[in-house]
Amino acid sequence: MIWCLFALLFSQFTFAQRHDEDLMSFVTLPEVRALKWEITHHDRDRAAPGYWFVAPYGMIDPESPTRKYLQYQVGPYIYDQDGVLIWAGSPMFDNRNTFDFKAVHNIDDKPHLSLIAQRTFDETVPGSGLILSQHYEVESEVFKLNDTWEFNVHEFKVMDGGKTALACVYQSKMLDMADVGRPGEQKLFLTGGFAELDLATGAPLFEWDSSDHLGLHETDRFHTWEEPMGQWGFDSVHMNAVDKNEAGDYIISMRFTDTIYMISGVDGRVMWRLGGRETNFVQDFVFSKQHDVKFVSSNGTHHIISFLNNASDEITTDEIISSALFVELDTTANPMTARLIARYNRPDGQLSRLRGNTQLLPNGNVFVGWSQSGYQSEFSPEGKVLMTARFASDRFSTYRAYKYEFTGRPRAPPDLVASVSGTTEDDVTTIVHVSWNGATDVAAWNFYAQAYDGGAPVLIGNVSKTDFETMFIAHGFLDWVSAAAVDHQGNVMGTSAVHRTKAPDNWEAAGFVGSSKAPSPINPSSLYKEAQAGEDHSSALSNGDTKDLLAALSQAYQVVRGLGNLLIFILVVSSFAGVLLGAFWVLRRRRIQRSQPYRHVPSEESFPMEETPLRNNASSD
């Protein structure tokens, strides 16, 4: 029986790999096809604790629903450091592009999430900045300001206490070109700035726009002889990041002026410029086309800042490699000084022409999102590359990538799907799949069966959680099943609904050749006592490799043969099969493979497990 299942599973994997190996598949969430990762850990022990927060998208603008490859890859996602899915947020945001997705720990003593959800393709739903609770429920949502085009996708930074957030703001304005030697001539520009928004009302508490404070000559991105393209005008400064220090001043990044500006929180005046054509600093480094400027520390006059130095864009290249920079600024010196204190080069030696971010982790490590194909890396403080990873698919990028510790406690119960199959009364098998989208810290799953709806649940086994979805295989036809998530201390965290097991409509047509027309469901309580015998073995073996499992299996067989109790043996075999298949599943999934050229897959050819008729919580009786 084991080998039949084993062979079946193996054939399913080869089939899946041939077609869309860059996407995950789940029995419990059939529509979700989360991206897989290719991960290299160079020094796992030094990696900071935490999960990865990414928001893959295919196109930076809202994508036509008909263009999408498959449902549910685009949107906010949380993964662990092995690329195991923790939360797929794309169903919640209905496949909309999302940006700047991260955990937020500065609101109260609970973890939260923040992100930007882009407007929908048909523009019926406007873009917004959102804060979610650790239960994945929307706590606050702010929309674009009046007279602006959209909620800008670059930045949504929740300030301490969670009362306000910073966002970039782009506006279309006719500007006089006197500053570039064409007085009296007007052209349409997309200006850049930011606002600090009241999260309760969405009203701006502070607003700043480049047209009020910067000269047109500062940009390297337009020429007076060119006509603006599109209804929004020249994207002249390309504002792409904002942060605020405790003194109440703002630091911003503008990509098309290659400059970081300090803006007074009192009157909006430019306090100083770092980089670009008019830097106020004596610098021992250069940078350009930068992203994601953030304060690491600031006491008002002395600042340490971090940012991603792209050194290139779609048009020009200034350096041969992109890097994350940490810079110390002394604004009391005369002239002011800017000193490079740490530089982390992109490990693959490439350039990030667009997007990206730099994050200092609590243990001093540095996490950098290089954006394209989700390429990201973690460095030790002294610059050793600890980890690099990228999406297995190059169809997707993430604007930024973050690493945070997080505790996710979804309100929705775990999803469970069970089915039964077999050819004779002796080999009838119930297969249960369970997952809990968004739940962190699940250590194991307990599986239960009951004789009838409302009957007492009987523990039929438990399995350590090693992947997003956990499979359990039980001998016999168990008609009503459920599962409970257990944490590392053994506490029950949540329980699925009781689901009815999906049986073939016609057992004979499904290959059943037993003495009856169809097998009958069994009463699980009649098996429970015998099941105890196998339990210790299954938990002891949950980390073993295949060889150990088989050795233990044959040992167990000798034991049960001595007892002459075939039923116990079948149960032991079933629980071993579950562990064996689970281990095999994990090994297959964790293998790091180069992605193959992308091919569109007609749905009937996709992962066969998806084709079995599935049930979800909603349809449970």
- Least CB distance to ligand NAG at residue 42 (A): 28
Query: Which residue type sits at 446?
Result: N
34 lies in the site for ligand NAG, by CB under 6 A: no
| 3-state helix vs strand vs coil in the chain, percent to 5 | 20, 35, 45
299 lies in the site for ligand NAG, by CB under 6 A: yes
441 lies in the site for ligand NAG, by CB under 6 A: no
202 lies in the site for ligand NAG, by CB under 6 A: yes
List residues bridging with 480 in a β-sheet: 450, 500
Tokens of 457: 């649940």
For the beta sheet containing 415-421, the strands, ordered from the edge strand earlier in sequence to the opposite edge, are 415-421, 429-435, 469-475
Interface region with ligand NAG, contact rule CB under 6 A, candidates 47-55, 77-85, 186-194, 297-305: 297-305
Query: Which residues 452-471 are close enough to bind ligand NAG by CB under 6 A?
Result: 462, 464
- Least CB distance to ligand NAG at residue 302 (A): 4
If the CB atoms of residues 193 and 374 are measured against ligand NAG, the closer one turns out to be 193
195 lies in the site for ligand NAG, by CB under 6 A: no
58 lies in the site for ligand NAG, by CB under 6 A: no
341 lies in the site for ligand NAG, by CB under 6 A: no
If the CB atoms of residues 258 and 479 are measured against ligand NAG, the closer one turns out to be 258
Query: Which residue type sits at 363?
Result: N
Rounded Cα distance, 168 and 252, in Å: 9
The number of residues making up the chain comes to 621
CB atoms closer than 10 angstroms to residue 287: 25
Cis peptide before 410 (omega within 30 of 0): no
DSSP strand pairing (138-143 vs 492-495):
unpaired
- Least CB distance to ligand NAG at residue 402 (A): 26
Q: Residue 292: which residues within 8 A CB-CB, separation 6 or more?
A: 240, 241, 253, 306, 307, 308, 356, 357, 358, 400
Q: Binding ligand NAG by CB under 6 A: which of 71, 133, 350, 539?
A: 539
If the CB atoms of residues 293 and 444 are measured against ligand NAG, the closer one turns out to be 444
CB distance 63 to 53 below 8 Å: no
CB distance 135 to 176 below 8 Å: no
Interface region with ligand NAG, contact rule CB under 6 A, candidates 21-29, 236-244, 311-319, 557-565: 311-319
Binding mask 218-257 for ligand NAG (x = CB under 6 A): ----------------------------------------
Binding mask 89-128 for ligand NAG (x = CB under 6 A): ----------------------------------------
CB distance 480 to 451 below 8 Å: yes
If the CB atoms of residues 430 and 462 are measured against ligand NAG, the closer one turns out to be 462
Query: Distance from CA of residue 577 to its chain's centroid?
Result: 31
- Least CB distance to ligand NAG at residue 300 (A): 6
Burial of 364 per CB tally in 10 Å (0-12, 13-18, 19+): exposed
Rounded Cα distance, 148 and 168, in Å: 11
Query: Distance from CA of residue 439 to its chain's centroid?
Result: 13
List the helix and strand counts (H, then E) for the chain.
5, 35
171 lies in the site for ligand NAG, by CB under 6 A: no
C-alpha torsion angle, residues 182, 186, 190, 193 (rounded to 10): 70
Q: Binding ligand NAG by CB under 6 A: which of 29, 34, 117, 145?
A: 145
Please report which helix (H) or strand (E) contains residue 24, including its range.
Answer: none
319 lies in the site for ligand NAG, by CB under 6 A: yes
Query: Which residues 466-495 are close enough to bind ligand NAG by CB under 6 A?
Result: 486
288 lies in the site for ligand NAG, by CB under 6 A: yes
Query: Which residue type sits at 324?
Result: A
Q: Binding ligand NAG by CB under 6 A: which of 300, 362, 364, 511?
A: 300
Q: Binding ligand NAG by CB under 6 A: which of 14, 66, 124, 146?
A: 146
If the CB atoms of residues 319 and 427 are measured against ligand NAG, the closer one turns out to be 319
Please report which helix (H) or strand (E) contains residue 399, including its range.
Answer: strand 397-404
If the CB atoms of residues 102 and 255 are measured against ligand NAG, the closer one turns out to be 255
Interface region with ligand NAG, contact rule CB under 6 A, candidates 158-166, 294-302, 342-350, 378-386: 294-302
Q: Binding ligand NAG by CB under 6 A: which of 139, 425, 535, 610?
A: 535
- Least CB distance to ligand NAG at residue 277 (A): 8
If the CB atoms of residues 145 and 293 are measured against ligand NAG, the closer one turns out to be 145
301 lies in the site for ligand NAG, by CB under 6 A: yes
444 lies in the site for ligand NAG, by CB under 6 A: yes
Please report which helix (H) or strand (E) contains residue 243, including its range.
Answer: strand 239-244
- Least CB distance to ligand NAG at residue 596 (A): 35
Rounded Cα distance, 562 and 139, in Å: 61
Interface region with ligand NAG, contact rule CB under 6 A, candidates 94-102, 163-171, 283-291, 509-517: 283-291
If the CB atoms of residues 107 and 325 are measured against ligand NAG, the closer one turns out to be 325
Angle of CA points 290, 216, 231, to nearest 5°: 85
Give the CA count within 13 Å in the CB-facing half-sphere of 545: 1
Q: Binding ligand NAG by CB under 6 A: which of 209, 249, 258, 313?
A: 258
Q: What is the number of the residue whose Cβ is closest to ligand NAG? A: 288
Burial of 285 per CB tally in 10 Å (0-12, 13-18, 19+): middle
CB distance 363 to 379 below 8 Å: no
* Residues in touch with ligand NAG (CB under 6 A): 145-146, 202-203, 258, 286-288, 299-302, 311, 318-319, 444, 462, 464, 486, 535, 539, 542
